[in-house]
Amino acid sequence: MRILVVEDEKKVARFIQQGLEDEHYTVDVAFDGEEGLRASEAGGYDLLIFDVMMPKMNGLDLTRAYRRNGGVSPILMLTAKISTDDKVAGLDSGADDYLTKPFAFAELLARVRSLLRRGTIEKATVLTAADLELDTVTHKARRGGREIELTAKEYALLEFFLRNKDRTLSRTIISEHIWEYHFDTGTNLIDVFVNHLRNKVDSGYPLKLLHTVRGVGYILREG
């Protein structure tokens, strides 16, 4: 799952980003409303978290612009304002939920899970390929009934492969979806992570799922 956090307080933004990444989400950050709008329209995010008070474009206007341009992903609004009128304004602008600062991260996480469930009603919560299963709610991976321990990046990578089963993914596409920067052709970072994941997913099983497409990238397929 990919999440965009738009928050001008950098310490708060990094705190949210780190906490969500620890829970195996892929998180990008923008620090003002205009940057957030550009990112939200280009990124294909499953969830958006917008602060209300931001430079260049506040969270209410950002939400309206995103919805006006056809954006449908759920939005969680963050604000220090606590009045009912402020909450109503946020929800009326197109937000799906509202969380008042300061907040406990456990509550933020619960709201994130709830919104992602709402926003993915038509998506499978358990992704499969042959005897490999990935539960996107519990973040547990199993093959042949045996649990596979994954790091946060490995989990994000496996989810991306499973959501794009039978599709060849270039190193550039993988980098843009899993990491926060465009692919540097001078590094073998993607290959290293894919090899780590392949060792966990395929080692010891006769049917190999992760395959290299020479000169292009990788594909997950059942045989």
pLDDT digits (tens, 9 = 90+) for 37-49: 999 887 678 899 9
Contact, 190 vs 183, CB < 8 A?
yes
* Residue 66, amino acid: Y
For the residues 141-148, what does the mean pLDDT come to?
93
What are the C-alpha distances in Å from 135 to residues 22, 24, 155?
16, 12, 10
Domains parsed from the chain with CATH numbers: 2-119 (3.40.50.2300), 126-220 (1.10.10.10)
What is the distance between the alpha carbons of residues 161 and 144, in angstroms, rounded to a whole number? 18
pLDDT digits (tens, 9 = 90+) for 71-130: 888 999 998 866 666 667 767 778 888 888 888 898 999 999 888 877 554 455 688 999
Q: Determine the Cα–Cα distance for residues 129 and 136; give it in Å rounded to an integer.
A: 14
Mean pLDDT for the stretch of residues 175-188? 64
Q: Which residues contact 33 (CB under 8 A, 6 or more apart)?
A: 6, 54, 55, 56, 57, 58, 59, 61, 62
Mean local confidence (pLDDT), 151-171? 89
Q: State the Cα–Cα distance between residues 158 and 212, nearest whole angstrom.
A: 15
> What global pTM score does this model have?
0.59
DSSP character string of 86-144: HHHHHHHTT-SEEEESS--HHHHHHHHHHHHHHHTTTS-SEEEETTEEEETTTTEEEET
- Distance between first and last Cα of the chain: 26
Q: Say which residue the tokens 């010891």 belong to.
A: 204
- pLDDT tens sequence across 1-39: 789 999 999 999 999 999 998 888 889 999 999 999 999
Cα 137 to the center of its chain, rounded Å: 13
